[in-house]
Amino acid sequence: MKGDRLISGALLVSAFSSITVLTLIAVFMFKEGAPIFAKTGLFGMFGQEWDPLHQKFGILPFIVGSIWITFGALVIGVPTGVLAATYLAVFAKKKVSAVLKPVIELLAGIPSVVYGFIGVIWLAPIIRTRLGGAGLSILAASIVLAIMILPTIIGVSMDAINAVPKSFREGSLALGATEWQTAWRVTLPAARSGILISIILGMGRAIGETMAVIMIAGNSTIIPKSILDPARTLTANIAIEMGYAVGDHRRALFATAIILFLFIVILNSIALKLSRRKF
């Protein structure tokens, strides 16, 4: 009994330590970034021009760039990841699944700079030659990020699909449904919550990615109008300029981090609400 209480206490401390660290990070960001909001107004940073030398801190181009690139990565990565997870968990033979799953998980261990380098050397020239534009663009960044989030989506989705009781599948097959009908109408709906969690995790990875996006997105401070246009994300802007920023410029970058933090919280809250919704 005493050992159980010690373990329970240790787990409780670990849980509260995570919350404490998150709270300290949030407090530090708001402490450093709040003064610029007081100076420019609550919506003063949502302008279209970013020019720190002239005290212009409009981050709207970075917000739009983040949304475009993240949305593009999800459009490419989510269907691919869910279909791959469905194949590996339902249709693939055990030997095939045993080989492919570790290979896919290995993708998560590749440094993001390697993805960015491959995108710059191989992907960007193809886009520039075949589709036009500079090559370093929203499309290139979306494709690279889609590949980077695949291990997360596939891994979590597979666990969710494998967690569906076998009686569901057996009952569907017994009623005359095909393997594909069973997967589409029974297994995937039953695993919906887990699949949505994998999408949430993938979205968080896409929004928070920095190095690969810096290398492949083009880093334009102008609002993009096409998927072939270059763009800069919120994370990329912070990483690029924090090293030399001082004064209001530095505060504006912390304010950017606050907006990014709130942006992720809102998106995750919406996704979690959808995951609990009964369709």
What tens-digit pLDDT sequence spans the chain (279 residues)?
A: 666 778 887 778 887 888 888 888 888 888 888 888 878 776 778 888 888 888 888 889 999 999 999 999 999 999 999 999 999 988 888 888 888 888 888 888 889 999 999 999 999 999 999 998 888 999 999 999 999 999 999 999 999 998 888 888 888 888 888 888 888 888 888 888 889 888 888 888 888 888 999 999 988 888 998 999 999 999 999 999 988 888 889 999 999 998 888 888 887 787 677 666 654
The answer to the question of residue 178 being in a domain is yes
The answer to the question of residue 269 being in a domain is no
Say how many CA atoms lie within 13 Å of 139 toward its Cβ: 17
Q: Which domain holds residue 201?
A: 64-233
The answer to whether 215 and 113 are in contact (CB under 8 A) is yes
The answer to the question of residue 251 being in a domain is no
The answer to the question of residue 100 being in a domain is yes
The answer to whether 187 and 164 are in contact (CB under 8 A) is yes
pLDDT of residue 125: 93
> Interhelix angle for 247-276 vs 2-40, to 10°?
130
Find residue 56's DSSP bridge partners. Answer: 51
Number of domains in the chain: 1
Query: Which residue has tokens 């590949």?
Result: 147
The answer to the question of residue 73 being in a domain is yes
CATH of the domain at 219: 1.10.3720.10
The answer to the question of residue 247 being in a domain is no
The answer to the question of residue 212 being in a domain is yes
The answer to the question of residue 224 being in a domain is yes
The answer to whether 50 and 255 are in contact (CB under 8 A) is no
